[in-house]
Each structure stands twice: as C-alpha cells, then as structure tokens.
C-alpha cells in the first residue's frame, strides 16, 4: 500500500520544507491530493506497467515527470521575471549554487555525475526551503584541453567544442540535473572572455 498526502508536516519543532515562498509553485503538484488517502500500489501504477513484460515502464514514467518538472521550472521563471524589484526580504532569500564547469573535450563520466548530483541536491534543498536559488551551468571551453582534443581528431576546435557542449548538455538533461540553462555560459564565447 502507498500512503499519499498533500501536506508536509513538521517533525518536532522543525519547520516544514514547503513554506509560503514555494507553496504556490509546488501546489500544482499536490492539488489533486486534497486529503491523505491510501491507494493500492498495484492500482496506482497499473498504467505504467508494460503489458508484455509485466514490469514497470520506467522510460514512460521518466518522460511524464520530465515534462511536469519542466512546467514547474517554467512557472518559477515566470514568477522570478514578474518580480523585477527585489525587496529586502527577497534579497535575504537569494542563494547561489556554483559548480565546477566541465571541459567540453569529450563526454561526461561518473565523476561528473557525482559532482553535478551534489550541486543539484543542494540547489533543490534550498529551493524547497524557500530560497530563490541561482544554479547556473557553463563550459570551461577556453583552453588547451578542448583544443588538443579537437586537434587529435582533426576537427576545428570551435566545431568540436560546440558539438561536445550539445552532447554534454543532453547527458545532464538525462540525469535530470536542474540547472538555470537561461544563465548558461561558455568561456570560449567572445561575449564572455572580452570581460576577462
């Protein structure tokens, strides 16, 4: 049996994770569960069971929730853009999570997954705690690692770098890393390095 509940209850004297700042965004997730209810796990997941194998179709579930999380992220961006002026209270709620930018000289490996999972967890925790989180991603693409990898393959460094950025960005999307892609930067971009 699976217990489904719409409210996050405090434990002891601790505050619930969902506070007033995040309630409006996350309300869309839980509005369908107005009261706690007990449902059969088999009934709840019946639509996600592959009839031919009898196993849970995880790719269908992943597709559904990726779309849902994209909607929630869009709502958050709309709210942030709507409030162009920050009050003193809003400024206190700002939180910046910066992770190492990868070299786009190949593909991501498990070391990258570890690092980006940690920053993603920190970002999500503070967002659920009511902070306005900035979690950008960029590419450390100006330098020898990317250029040498391109030369080894006989490809122009800019084309190689752009191709790898696309592949790595797709890999990060597949692990559901929650970065602020509208704040993405690449250190090989002239609009970036003219300031350094």
Gap between the Cα atoms of 110 and 139, Å rounded = 17
Angle (CA) 69-71-75 rounded to 5° is: 115
Q: What pLDDT does residue 84 have?
A: 63
| pTM metric for this prediction | 0.66
Q: What stretches of 53-101 show up as alpha helix (H) in DSSP?
A: 58-82, 88-92
Gap between the Cα atoms of 75 and 96, Å rounded = 20
Q: Any residues with CB less than 8 A from the CB of 34 and at least 6 apart, and which?
A: 6
Whether 57 has a pLDDT exceeding 60, the answer reads: yes
Residue 130 binned pLDDT confidence (cut-offs 50, 70, 90) = confident
Residue 3 phi/psi, 5-degree rounding, is: -100, 125
Residue 82 binned pLDDT confidence (cut-offs 50, 70, 90) = low
Average pLDDT over the chain reads 77
Q: What is the mean pLDDT of residues 96-118?
A: 91
Residue 113 binned pLDDT confidence (cut-offs 50, 70, 90) = very high
Contact 59, 49 (CB under 8 A): no
Q: What pLDDT does residue 89 have?
A: 77
Q: How many separate helices (H) and strands (E) can be counted in the chain? A: 8, 6
Q: Among 11-20, 126-135, 137-146, which stretch is predicted with the lowest mean pLDDT?
A: 11-20
Distance (Å) of CA 116 to CA 4, 137, 138, 165, 178: 30, 10, 12, 15, 9
Q: What is the mean pLDDT of residues 49-69?
A: 85
């Amino acid at each position: 049996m699976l217990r489904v509940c719409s409210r996050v209850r405090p434990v002891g004297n601790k505050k619930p994770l969902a506070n007033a700042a995040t309630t409006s965004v996350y309300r869309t997730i839980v509005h369908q569960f107005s009261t706690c209810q007990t449902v059969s796990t088999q009934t709840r997941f019946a639509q996600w069971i592959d009839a031919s194998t009898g196993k849970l179709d995880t790719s269908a579930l992943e597709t559904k929730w990726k779309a849902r999380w994209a909607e929630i992220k869009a709502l958050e961006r709309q709210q942030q853009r709507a409030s162009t002026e920050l009050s003193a209270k809003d400024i206190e709620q700002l939180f910046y999570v910066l992770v190492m930018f990868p070299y786009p000289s190949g593909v991501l490996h498990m070391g990258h997954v570890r690092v980006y999972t940690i920053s993603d967890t920190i970002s999500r925790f503070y967002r659920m705690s009511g902070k306005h989180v900035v979690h950008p991603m960029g590419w450390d693409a100006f330098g020898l690692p990317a250029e040498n990898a391109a030369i080894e393959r006989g490809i122009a460094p800019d084309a190689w770098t752009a191709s790898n950025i696309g592949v790595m960005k797709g890999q990060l999307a597949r692990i559901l890393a929650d970065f602020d892609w509208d704040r993405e930067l690449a250190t090989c971009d002239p609009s970036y390095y003219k300031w350094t």
